[in-house]
Amino acid sequence: MHTTESAAARYADIETWSTAQLVAGMIDSQREGLDAVAAAAPALARAVDAIADRLGSSGRLIYLGAGTSGRIGAQDGAELPPTFNWPYERAIALMAGGPGALLKAVENAEDSLTAAAESLDALGVNRADAVIGIAASGNTPYVTAGLEHARRKGALTVGIINNPGGTVGKAAEIEVLLATGAEFLAGSTRMKAGTAQKVALNVISTGVMIRLGYVYRGLMVEMRPTNAKLRERSVRMVMELTGADDAAVRATLEQASGVIKLATVMLLLKLDRAGAQAALDRAGGNLRKALA
């Protein structure tokens, strides 16, 4: 079986290929990454449900990785607050070598057996948390040790790996194997292994947010309208959800301080801001429940 470290015979002479062949070959390789994610769908579904059940009202989603895998995890976590209004303090990325390693490689950091545990202890990792460890090789010591420590502390642990049989998968309660095999450029896991990891994390985090009620009718109703583009998007969203005209929606959003859910409840239930907020509070912030 080919692994991410294998040198595939079909790519042995890529330096002699035409540019058109190179581009086509790399695109085909990326498609294989997506196929690997599709094959892992049952494990991804288990991860979504388990994480959503675990997080509740205070749990944190903690990403753990090194190198490319760590950077992909950090990117996924960074998108949750603006997209879903998920609290920044509840989406945490721990990177081998520290935050500076996100931009510049830190040699040997991934080999530490203590750094991840120390960082998790500094956070006070506990049973309310879910920790996702990401490692293309499946054997990154930093990730394995971190997952083992998190599991001892009672946190839910998920291991995302690209090679079967590694220590990361064994350390996690839920193993997600993305069997991407040999890379177009041997050992360069920033390619299809990284693509598969990115898609898998998109699936997990978005699925969790949907299960937790952060999405309504396929719309990002928790989105923070922090710039002109997003403010216009919020207007379109509330118009779609309520059927109100542009002027009414803009006026209501202004009264609601730009909060999409609040404006929607105000318009559909014909409530003032205080009444709409009370309705949302009774529903635990879930728009579907508030409107029901």
CATH number at residue 264: 1.10.8.1080
Position 4 pLDDT exceeds 80: no
pLDDT of residue 211: 93
In a shared domain, residues 240 and 187: no
In a shared domain, residues 47 and 154: yes
- Kindly report, residue by residue over 53-93, the tens digit of the pLDDT: 999 878 999 999 999 999 999 999 999 999 999 999 999 99
Q: Range of 267's domain?
A: 228-291
- Which pTM was predicted? 0.91
* Order of all β-strands in the sheet with 91-95: 91-95, 61-65, 130-135, 156-161, 174-177
In a shared domain, residues 174 and 35: yes
Report if residue 274 sits inside a domain: yes
Residue for token digits 């009264």?
A: 255
In a shared domain, residues 107 and 154: yes
Report if residue 221 sits inside a domain: no
In a shared domain, residues 94 and 154: yes
In a shared domain, residues 199 and 245: no
Residue that is last in its domain, among 211, 243, 264? 211
Report if residue 138 sits inside a domain: yes
Task: State the first-to-last Cα distance of the chain, in angstroms, to the nearest integer.
Answer: 53
Position 1 pLDDT exceeds 70: no
In a shared domain, residues 162 and 49: yes
Mention every residue, 6+ apart, whose C-beta is less than 8 A from residue 132. 47, 61, 62, 63, 64, 73, 157, 158, 159, 160, 201, 204
pLDDT of residue 115: 95
Catalytic machinery residues: 79, 110
Q: How many domains does the chain have?
A: 2
- Kindly report, residue by residue over 109-138, the tens digit of the pLDDT: 888 899 999 999 999 999 999 999 999 999
Alpha carbons 173 and 181: distance in angstroms, whole number: 23
In a shared domain, residues 156 and 233: no
pLDDT of residue 187: 84
